[in-house]
A and B are shown apart, each in its own frame.
Chain A
Amino acid sequence: AQKITQTQPGMFVQEKEAVTLDCTYDTSDQSYGLFWYKQPSSGEMIFLIYQGSYDEQNATEGRYSLNFQKARKSANLVISASQLGDSAMYFCAMRELDFNKFYFGSGTKLNVKP
């Protein structure tokens, strides 16, 4: 079974609007971390935001927030006030904290329209 599922291969959003990128995960562990990374066309993977499974509040980092719904096993990324520079691939990832490996989804390509 896939550990991380991203069902949106591509998304469009109008500049200055908010957008939600979906991510669901599969684990039977109680202790895990969820991550989002941005990958521009240049290729580098840029860390955006982290959510621990025991964190009671949703993580926020500037214009990024993570909508964590533990019972539904979802960890959606919300980008507020989209900018043209947000156009990139976005990857959701998970690590079960007793282990070392990070699992990545297949990504969502976000295009921000002017």
Chain B
Amino acid sequence: DTGVSQDPRHKITKRGQNVTFRCDPISEHNRLYWYRQTLGQGPEFLTYFQNEAQLEKSRLLSDRFSAERPKGSFSTLEIQRTEQGDSAMYLCASRSGTGKSGNTIYFGEGSWLTVV
């Protein structure tokens, strides 16, 4: 399978704990996105990487959130001191940026976070 993969798929954590999600994009894609989706809503943009550079961050990404893409391949999204409001699905997506299909982002299956 050469699609976007995310790990873990599901995470239940206690309030105040830290969690980390990993995303492996499609191998030739140098652009990577993180989105958050709550029930009944569309995905909301969190952050964007081109290669290893984090070029854009949403105001939704509070100080408790940090994302990295150290070698321009996989990315991690860490949430520190989780709160119940962080419960959501965290979606990773990637695109190549070249050719017509480079305009399209392809999503992973998402990581569901439940904070109890």
A interface residue numbers (CB < 8 A to B): 4, 33, 35, 37, 42-47, 50, 52, 91, 93, 95, 97, 100-107
Contact assessment for A105 and B42 in the assembled complex, using a CB-CB cutoff below 8 Å:
yes
Show 8 residue pairs from A and B whose CB-CB distance is below 8 angstroms, ordered by the A residue: A33-B103, A33-B104, A35-B105, A52-B103, A100-B31, A100-B33, A103-B45, A104-B43
Q: B108 near A: Cβ within 8 Å?
A: yes
The interface size of chain B toward A, counting residues with CB under 8 Å, comes to 26
Contact assessment for B42 and A104 in the assembled complex, using a CB-CB cutoff below 8 Å:
yes
Contact assessment for A43 and B109 in the assembled complex, using a CB-CB cutoff below 8 Å:
yes
Contact assessment for A100 and B104 in the assembled complex, using a CB-CB cutoff below 8 Å:
no
Bound-state CA distance A4–B41 (Å) is: 12
B21 cross-chain contacts in A, Cβ below 8 A: none
A33, A101, A102, A107 interface centre (most CB from chain B within 10 Å): A102
Bound-state CA distance A112–B64 (Å) is: 41
Give B90 Cβ to nearest chain A Cβ, in Å. Answer: 11
Of A4, A43, A46, A91, the contact of B89 (CB 8 Å cutoff)? A43
B45 cross-chain contacts in A, Cβ below 8 A: 101-103
A43-B110, A50-B104, A107-B42 known; 19 new pairs, CB 8 Å cut-off, are: A37-B107, A44-B107, A44-B108, A45-B110, A47-B105, A50-B100, A50-B103, A91-B43, A100-B33, A100-B48, A100-B55, A100-B56, A101-B48, A102-B93, A104-B42, A104-B44, A105-B42, A106-B40, A106-B42
Contact assessment for A44 and B109 in the assembled complex, using a CB-CB cutoff below 8 Å:
yes
Of B31, B43, B56, the contact of A45 (CB 8 Å cutoff)? B43
